[in-house]
Amino acid sequence: MLMIAGVIVSVILFGIGLLGMIFRRDLIIKLLSLGLVNGSVMLCLVSLGSRANGIAPIIRGPENAGYVNPLPQALVLSAIVINFAILALALVFVMLLVEHYHSTDSQRIEHEIKREREL
């Protein structure tokens, strides 16, 4: 039941993030929406691995039942760190672009680049 709820919420978040990426013109908000899409996929993975009355996969004693699936958690851990590294690099590029064109509007930057290319 929790698994289904997690998956449905992650699809909704994916939709919101995609909407933000397409329809907001500001570069920084586009990047934030990309982060939201990443977070939704990670939520889906972790909730697919959970179970109804589970325990965290850390072995404390000889009891041997009810652990949630540890495999998606390992994947998501790597994904979070890689996500952050790529985000830092993408922000560097956005910063350099904004400094050069004095605007964070993606359409205006494209317009200026087209104008520069024509000259």
Partner 1 sequence: MVLLVLLSMLPVLAAFALSRRRHLTVIVGMGLFSLILSAVYLLLHAPDVAVTEAAINAALVTFVYIIAIRKTGRLVVVSDEIPGLLHREGEQISGLEHEILSGFARQLGLELVIRFLPVEQIPRALQQGEADIGAGGIISEIDDNRVLKTQGYLPTALYHLSIQTKPHLKQEESAITGFFSDLREEFQAGKIQACTLDLARFVALSRSDLSPYTVRRLDGLFSYIFLIAPARERLHHQFVSYLSKLEEGGELEKLTRRYFS
Partner 2 sequence: MRHRRIGLIIYATILVCCFCGLVIVFFSYQEPARELGTIYLSRAPSETGAANIVSAIYLNYRLYDTLFEILIFSVAVLGVRFYLSDYREKEIVEKIPESQIVRTSADLFFPPIFLIGIYLTLSGHLSPGGGFSGGVVAGTALLLCAVALGANTVGKRFYEPTLRWLEWGVLLVVLSLPLLPIVVDRLPFTELLPPGTMGKVISGGSIPIYNLLIGIKVFIGTWVIIHYFMRHRGEI
Query: Which residues contact partner 1 by CB under 8 A?
Result: 2, 5-6, 9, 12-13, 16-17, 19-20, 24, 26, 28-29, 32-33, 35-36, 39, 42-43, 46-47, 49-50, 54-58, 68, 73, 76-77, 80-81, 83-84, 87-88, 91, 94-95, 98-99, 102, 104
Nearer to partner 1, 89 or 117 (CB): 89
Nearer to partner 2, 6 or 119 (CB): 6
Torsion sign across C-alpha atoms 78, 81, 87, 93: negative
**Does 28 sit near partner 2 (CB under 8 A)?**
no
- Report the nearest approach of partner 2 to the CB of residue 26 (Å): 16
Residue in the structure block whose two tokens are 């104008």:
115
**Does 67 sit near partner 2 (CB under 8 A)?**
yes
**Does 1 sit near partner 2 (CB under 8 A)?**
no
Asked if 60 contacts 47 with a C-beta cutoff of 8 angstroms, the reply is no
Q: How far apart are the first and last CA of the chain?
A: 61
- β partners of residue 26: 105
Concatenated DSSP letters for 85-114? HHHHHHHHHHHHHHHHHS--BHHHHHHHHH
**Does 119 sit near partner 2 (CB under 8 A)?**
no
